[in-house]
Structure 1
Amino acid sequence: MEALYTAVATANGREGRAATSDGRLDLSLAMPPALGGSGEGTNPEQLFAAGYAACFAGAIGLVGQREKIDTKDVSVTAEISIGKDETSFALAATIRVELPEELSGGTGQKLVEQAHEVCPYSKATRGNIPVTLVVE
Structure 2
Amino acid sequence: MEILYTAHATASGGGREDGQSRTDDGKVDVRLSTPKEMGGSGGAGTNPEQLFATGYAACFLGAMRFAAKRDKVDLPAETTVNAQVGFGKRDDGQGFGLKVILTADAPGMEAEALKGVMDAAHIVCPYSHATKGNIEVELRTA
Same fold (TM over 0.5): yes
Give 1:35's match in structure 2, choosing from 17, 31, 38.
Answer: 38
Distance 1:62 1:100 in 2: 18
- Extract structure 1 runs of 4+ deviating beyond 3 A: none
Q: Hey, what does 1:55 align to over in structure 2?
A: 59
Distance 2:120 2:52 in 1: 21
CA contact (8 A) 2:75 2:106 kept: no
RMSD of Structure 2 on Structure 1 (CA)? 1.0
CA contact (8 A) 1:64 1:71 kept: no
Q: How many residues align?
A: 135
Q: Give TM-score, length-normalised by structure 1.
A: 0.95
Question: Identity over aligned residues, as a percent?
Answer: 47
**Structure 2 unaligned residues grouped into runs of 5+:** none
Give 1:129's match in structure 2, choosing from 126, 131, 135.
Answer: 135
Deviations 1:53-83 (A, max 9, x none): 0000000110121123233121001110100
CA contact (8 A) 2:11 2:20 kept: yes
Give 1:98's match in structure 2, choosing from 92, 105, 112.
Answer: 105
Distance 1:129 1:95 in 2: 13
Q: Give TM-score, length-normalised by structure 2.
A: 0.91
Distance 1:33 1:19 in 2: 23
Q: Hey, what does 1:14 align to over in structure 2?
A: 16
Q: Give runs of aligned pairs for residues 68-107 of structure 1, distance below 5 A.
A: 68=72, 69-85=74-90, 86-101=93-108, 103-107=109-113
CA contact (8 A) 1:61 1:71 kept: no
**Structure 1 unaligned residues grouped into runs of 5+:** none
Distance 1:70 1:118 in 2: 16
Deviation larger for 48-57 or 10-19:
10-19
